[in-house]
Structure 1
Amino acid sequence: MVGIFGKKASSTLWTKNFILFSGLNLFLNLGVQFLIPILPLYAISVLGASESQVGYLLGLYSFAALAARPFAGYAYDHFGRKKPFVIALIAFSILSFLYNFTATFILLVILRVIHGLAFSFTTTGTGAIVGDIVPSERRGEGIGYFGMTNTLAMALGPAIALSIMGNNNYWILFALSGFLAISAFLMSNFVHFPKIELSSKPFNIKTIFEKKVFSVVLVVLMFGVINGGVLSFIIIYSQDIGIINGGLFFLINSIGVITIRLFTGKIMDIHGPRPMIIFGFIIQSIGLVLLSAANGIFLFLTAAVLLGVANGTLMPTLQTMVMNMVESNKRGVANATFFAAMDIGVGGGSILLGLIAELASFKIMYLFCAVYLVIPLIYFLSYVSKDYERKIVEIDTTIINEKFK
C-alpha cells in the first residue's frame, strides 16, 4: 500500500508500540485533567483570587507553554524523540507534586508557569512521536484513536478529581497528579521510539516554526480561544446557574468526543478535511448557544455532548492536516507550531473571556463565542482548504522525486 507521501508502509495500526504509547498518553493527561477544574476553585476558595485573576492564571500557563514550543520542536527534530521526551516527563512529574506547597496566589502562578514549560515539551513530543508510529496512509485514523486517550482522560480526570476533592482535599489531588505523571515516565522505558533523519538546520526564527502549516494553525489559534473559555470556566458557570455536579459536563462532553472520533479519522483519510471542519464549527456554535441559554441540567448537558462532538471532529482533523503537510523530520517543529497556536488561543481566550465574564456574565461570554466562530469557518472555506490541497500535492511530488534521484 502506498502512503500519503508516495512510499510503501505497513498498514498495521494497532501495534504493541501504538497501544503502549497511547496508554502512556492516557496516564499523562489524567494528571493534567485532574488540575484543570480544580485549580480555579483552589485559587478562588483557598487563595482568595478573583475570576479575572483565574483567567490570568490559566492564560499564563498557556503562554508559558507557547514560549517553550519552538525549543521543544527543535529538540525533537535535532536530537531525536526519546531523550527530550523522557527529560520532559521527569520534570513534569516533579513539578506536579509541588502544588501542595503553593501557599499564596503568586506562588501558584509561578509554579503554573514553570509547569507550562514542561507541559509544552511533553505534548509537542506526543504529537510528533505518534505521527511517526502510525502508518502514513492511516494517519488520520491513528491520530483520531490516539486522541481518544486525551478524551478519556478529560472524561475521567475532572469527575474523579471533583469526587476526591470532597471537603477541599486538594493535597490528595496534587499528589495523585504527580503519581500519574511518574507512571507515564515508567511506561516510556518500554516504548520503541522510531528513528528519524535528524534535521541539521541551525536554531533560528526560520527553523523553530514551520511556515508551511501557518494557514492551518491560524484556524487552530481561533479554535483555541473558544476552548479556553469552555473548559476553564465551566465549573464556575455551573455553580452560577445552580447545577451542583458541574463535573458531569466533562463526562458527557467526552462521550461526544469519543463517539465522533470513531468515525472522523477514517472520513478524514477518505474525503479530506473540508466536510469535517464545516460540520465541527456548525455543531460547536449550536452547542455554545445552548450553553449560553442553559438554566438547568438538560440544556447544560446537551451543550456538553454537542461541544464534545465538535471538539472530537476539529482537533484530530486539524492536527492530521498539519502532520500531512510536512516531511517526517519536520513533524516536531510542525507539531510545536500547531500547539503554539493552540496555546496562544487558549491563553488569550482565557484572559479575554474571563474579562467578558467579569464585566458582563458567563452567558454573554458563551454567546459571544458562538457568534465569533463564523470567522474561522469563513477563513477555512475561502483559503485554508485550497492551500492544504496544494501543499499536499507539492510535498508528495517532492518526496517521490527525491526517492528516484
Structure 2
Amino acid sequence: MLYTPAFAALFMANLFYVASYSSFFLFPLFITGQGGSHQDIGIIMGVFALASAFCRPWIAEMIDRFGRKRSYTIGCIIMMLLPLFYLLLKGPLTNYYFLLLFLRIVHGVGLAIGFTAVFTFIVDLIPIKRLNEGIGMFGTSGLIGMAIGPMIAEPILQNYGFSAFFFTASGLAGAAFLLQLPIRDKHHLQPSEAQPQPSFFALLKTRKQLVCAGLALLFGFGLAATGNFIAPFATERQLSYVSLYYFAYSCAAVIVRFFVGKVADRIGENQIIPWGIALTATGLLLVPLVHGNLWLLAVGFVFGIGHGLLFPALNAMAVRDEIYAVRGKVTGIFTGGIDSGIFCGALILGMIGEIAGLTTLFICAGLTVLSGLYLFRLKPTVTVKTGR
C-alpha cells in the first residue's frame, strides 16, 4: 500500500519544512535592503547551498547508521531555531557579514539533514513498482510548500517587516517538527545487508551515480536562478508580486505529478528525463521576455512543468535497485548534487548578474541546464523494471 498514515504524516511535515525553506527566497530583499549587491546575494545565498552540499557525505552516512526518523527530527529542530538567530542582524550588512555567513552555513546543514532523511525515509515506504508515482506524489508536498512559503511570508514581510518574517519561517519549521513526532522508523537492516557496504564516495564513483549527480547539479544550477534572482528581477521590472512566479511554478509541478507518475512507472523514468531537462531550460530562457505579471505567471508555469517531470524521475533513477543499507548515501549523492548546483549557480550567476545583468544571467542558466541532454546520453544502459 502506498498512501499510508506514515506517508500522509511525512507529506504534511515536508510541506511545512519546505515552506520554511522557500520563505527565504525573499531573503535577497533583506540583503539588498541592508546595502548588499547582486554578488553579495550570490555569496550569502550560495554559502547556504555550499554547506548543505559539502556536509552531505557525512549526513548520508549518519542517516544509514543513525536512522531516518532521528535524523529528520534533528533537521527540523535546526530549521526551527535558525531563523530566530537572524533577528540579531541589525544595521548595514557590513556590520555582521561573517556572522550572517556562519548562520547561513548552519541553516544549510539543517536543511541537508532533513531533506536527505525524509526522501530516504519515504523511499523505504514506497512499493518498488510504484516508485515514480510515490516519489512524484510525495514531492508535491515540497512543491506546495515552495508555493505557500513565499505566499505566506511576502505579505507578512510587507506589512510587519523582517522580524515577523523570521518568526514566520521558524513557525513553519516548528509545524514540521510536531507533525513528524508520531512517526516511527520501523525498517531495519536485513542480515544480508549488515555487512560493510560501499562508502558514499565509492558509490559516487559508479557511472550511474556520477550521471545522476551531474544531472542533479545542472538542475540545481537552474534552481539557483529561480530561487535567488527572480525576486531582484521582478523588482527591476517593477512587477507587483514575486510570489506569483512561485505559485504558478508549484501549481504546474503539482499538476504534472498527478498525471505523469503512473505513466513513468509504465514506460520508465529514462523516457521522462529528457523532457524534464528541456522544459526546465525553456522556463529559464523565457524569463528575460517577462515584462508583466501575467508573463511572470506563465514562465513560472513552464519551469514548474519541467521541475515536476525532472525531480522525481532523477530521484527514481538514482535509488532504483539500491538496497536499504545504502539508500541514505544514494539519496545524499542525489540531493547533494542539487545543492552543489545551487551553490555553484548562486555564486557564478551572482557574478554574471553583477557584470552583465539579470537578462544574461537567466540565459546562461537556461543553457547550462540544457547541456544536461548531452550528459544524460552517458548514462549506463540498463533495463528499468517498470510496473507493466
- Normalised TM-score (structure 2): 0.92
Aligned length: 376
Aligned to 2:29: 41
Equivalence map 1:284-299=2 (5 Å): 284-299=280-295
Equivalence map 1:266-345=2 (5 Å): 266-345=262-341
Cα pair distance change 1:378/1:192, threshold 3 Å: same
Of residues 373, 383, 389, the one that matches 2:378 is: 383
Cα pair distance change 1:140/1:194, threshold 3 Å: farther
Offset at residue 175 of structure 1 (A): 1.1
Of residues 197, 201, 224, the one that matches 2:196 is: 201
Cα pair distance change 1:43/1:15, threshold 3 Å: same
Paired residue type of 1:143: I
Paired residue type of 1:145: M
RMSD: 1.9
Aligned to 2:45: 58
Which secondary structure does the structure 2 equivalent of 1:192 belong to? coil
Distance in 2 (CA, whole Å) between partners of 1:330 and 1:59 is 28
Aligned to 2:355: 359
Of residues 147, 163, 168, the one that matches 2:139 is: 147
Which secondary structure does the structure 2 equivalent of 1:36 belong to? helix
Offset at residue 218 of structure 1 (A): 0.9
Offset at residue 229 of structure 1 (A): 1.0
Which secondary structure does the structure 1 equivalent of 2:371 belong to? helix
Which secondary structure does the structure 2 equivalent of 1:383 belong to? coil
Kindly indicate whether the alpha-carbon contact (under 8 Å) linking 1:144 and 1:316 is maintained by their aligned counterparts in 2. yes
Offset at residue 132 of structure 1 (A): 0.5
User: Structure 1 residue 30 and structure 2 residue 22: aligned?
Assistant: no
Distance in 2 (CA, whole Å) between partners of 1:80 and 1:200 is 17
Cα pair distance change 1:388/1:195, threshold 3 Å: farther
Distance in 1 (CA, whole Å) between partners of 2:195 and 2:85 is 37
Offset at residue 226 of structure 1 (A): 1.1
User: What CA deviation, in whole Å up to 9, does each residue of 1:44-68 have, x standing for no partner?
Assistant: 10x3211101100111100101122
Kindly indicate whether the alpha-carbon contact (under 8 Å) linking 2:244 and 2:296 is maintained by their aligned counterparts in 1. no
Task: Structure 1: give runs of 5+ residues left out of the alignment.
Answer: 1-11, 394-405
Task: Structure 2: give runs of 5+ residues left out of the alignment.
Answer: 91-95
Cα pair distance change 1:216/1:247, threshold 3 Å: same
Aligned to 2:93: none
User: Structure 1 residue 107 and structure 2 residue 99: aligned?
Assistant: yes
User: Structure 1 residue 225 and structure 2 residue 221: aligned?
Assistant: yes
Paired residue type of 2:61: Y
Aligned to 1:398: none
User: Structure 1 residue 21 and structure 2 residue 10: aligned?
Assistant: yes
Which secondary structure does the structure 2 equivalent of 1:166 belong to? helix
Cα pair distance change 1:169/1:326, threshold 3 Å: same
Kindly indicate whether the alpha-carbon contact (under 8 Å) linking 2:270 and 2:313 is maintained by their aligned counterparts in 1. no
Cα pair distance change 1:327/1:204, threshold 3 Å: closer
Cα pair distance change 1:202/1:321, threshold 3 Å: closer
Distance in 1 (CA, whole Å) between partners of 2:218 and 2:204 is 18
Offset at residue 92 of structure 1 (A): 2.7
Kindly indicate whether the alpha-carbon contact (under 8 Å) linking 1:43 and 1:105 is maintained by their aligned counterparts in 2. no
User: What CA deviation, in whole Å up to 9, does each residue of 1:217-236 have, x standing for no partner?
Assistant: 11111121111112211011
Kindly indicate whether the alpha-carbon contact (under 8 Å) linking 1:73 and 1:336 is maintained by their aligned counterparts in 2. yes
Cα pair distance change 1:28/1:199, threshold 3 Å: farther
Distance in 1 (CA, whole Å) between partners of 2:144 and 2:247 is 9
Kindly indicate whether the alpha-carbon contact (under 8 Å) linking 1:323 and 1:331 is maintained by their aligned counterparts in 2. yes
Aligned to 1:265: 261
Cα pair distance change 1:83/1:287, threshold 3 Å: closer
Kindly indicate whether the alpha-carbon contact (under 8 Å) linking 2:244 and 2:293 is maintained by their aligned counterparts in 1. no
| Greater alpha carbon shift after TM alignment, 80-89 vs 144-153 | 80-89
Paired residue type of 2:153: A
Cα pair distance change 1:388/1:106, threshold 3 Å: farther
Paired residue type of 1:22: F
| Greater alpha carbon shift after TM alignment, 105-114 vs 308-317 | 105-114
Paired residue type of 1:149: S
Distance in 2 (CA, whole Å) between partners of 1:43 and 1:94 is 20
Offset at residue 207 of structure 1 (A): 5.5
Distance in 1 (CA, whole Å) between partners of 2:245 and 2:290 is 12
Cα pair distance change 1:76/1:210, threshold 3 Å: farther
Cα pair distance change 1:373/1:112, threshold 3 Å: closer
